[in-house]
Amino acid sequence: MPLSTATLLESLNAPTTIPIVPYRNGAIDFDGHAKNIGYLMHNNRLDQGRRRVISVAGTSLINHMEPEEQTQIFDVAGQVMGKDGVLMSAIAPNPIGTAGKLVAAQSRLQRPPDVFLIMPLTGTYDANGVYTTFMEFGKRYGEEYGARFLYYFRMERDREAVMRLLNDSPHFIGVKIGTSEADVKPFVDGVGNNAMVIWGIGDRSTRAAEAGAKGHTSGTAVLCTGICDGINNAQRRGDYEAARQLEAKINALEEIRFMNGRVYNYSAVVEAMRQSGFRDIEAGDCSGPFNPPVSSEVAARIGKAIEGLAEYH
């Protein structure tokens, strides 16, 4: 039976862990993907017995996968997770017809996603079109499949349209902030109890939590769940100093991931996983599309950045 919306929202007040999808010789390593999902599930350090939230999104190279591969990725993840966690599918809305087909196909899986994250829209568009198109999209797939959606906010000009969407659509239940901490409070105030506001830019999330965000997105959790889970545990109990101390331990790696327009968002995690030597996760060979291995200079920086993280694995 699907999670109720209330239970789903409470579960999302946690790290959304996004493991990289490993590649070998340019092809997805589905067994390696299952291994990474298993690591996240078996190393859940959230307090109070809370559910692990797992997504496969931009950090995982979802934008570069064929639709059939995307559905298979979530099929594998769902089989490993079973009913013990929350599965979030990330879907690029270009073109919108393909996005709809993905929602339909994944909703028919034996273990379907619990929620769909609508990734940033690309190409030429009007903010009013964001509102009208996603109102219709949410209604169609929400009514037909019971789908619930989050919107990934990345474009400042769309703020009012996205707030209207969250306030007017019962199918869009939250927003991930992908701009800056300055947008957290306006969204918290603007959507009230109609939708959840989630921090969407990495583990350095405490300023956003203080502004009212619930939960955060972690692209490094597959390397060290103790960091991302510990940050969330601390934030939920209001111990923001403890959360910042944990953030400091991952800061050097986050700096590399997000430098120069997030150019190493994927490859830095792969390199960190490779250098870690951990046998219960799979980095692949960094042959994924558009993401070559990092340079020797960046690899050396990553080596220093992950010193001391083993205890959090």
Q: What is the rounded (10 degree) CA torsion for 36, 68, 63, 120?
A: -110
Please list, in sequence order, all residues whose beta carbon lies within 8 angstroms of the beta carbon of residue 160, skipping any fewer than 6 positions away: 127
Q: How far apart are CA 94 and CA 290, in angstroms?
A: 19
Residue 1 has pLDDT above 80, yes or no: no
What pLDDT is stored for residue 93 in this prediction?
A: 97
Taking only the tens place, the pLDDT of each residue in 131-152 is 999 999 999 999 999 999 999 9
What pLDDT is stored for residue 74 in this prediction?
A: 98
Q: Which residue has the tokens 């493991």?
A: 19
Taking only the tens place, the pLDDT of each residue in 198-222 is 999 999 999 999 999 999 999 999 9
Taking only the tens place, the pLDDT of each residue in 8-52 is 999 999 999 999 999 999 999 999 999 999 999 999 999 999 999
Among residues 236, 311, 231, 305, the alpha carbon closest in space to that of 271 is found at 305
What pLDDT is stored for residue 2 in this prediction?
A: 86
For 216, list phi and psi in degrees, rounded to 5: -155, 170
State both tokens at 109: 């899986």
Taking only the tens place, the pLDDT of each residue in 152-177 is 999 999 999 999 999 999 999 999 99
Q: What is the residue extent of each domain of the chain?
A: 5-239
Taking only the tens place, the pLDDT of each residue in 90-136 is 999 999 999 999 999 999 999 999 999 999 999 999 999 999 999 99
Radius of gyration of the chain from Cα atoms? 18
What pLDDT is stored for residue 263 in this prediction?
A: 96
pLDDT (average), residues 297-305: 98
Contact 112, 118 (CB under 8 A): no
What pLDDT is stored for residue 86 in this prediction?
A: 98
What pLDDT is stored for residue 304 in this prediction?
A: 98
Q: Which CATH architecture has domain 5-239?
A: Alpha-Beta Barrel (3.20)
What pLDDT is stored for residue 219 in this prediction?
A: 97
Whether this prediction's pTM lies above 0.85 is answered by: yes
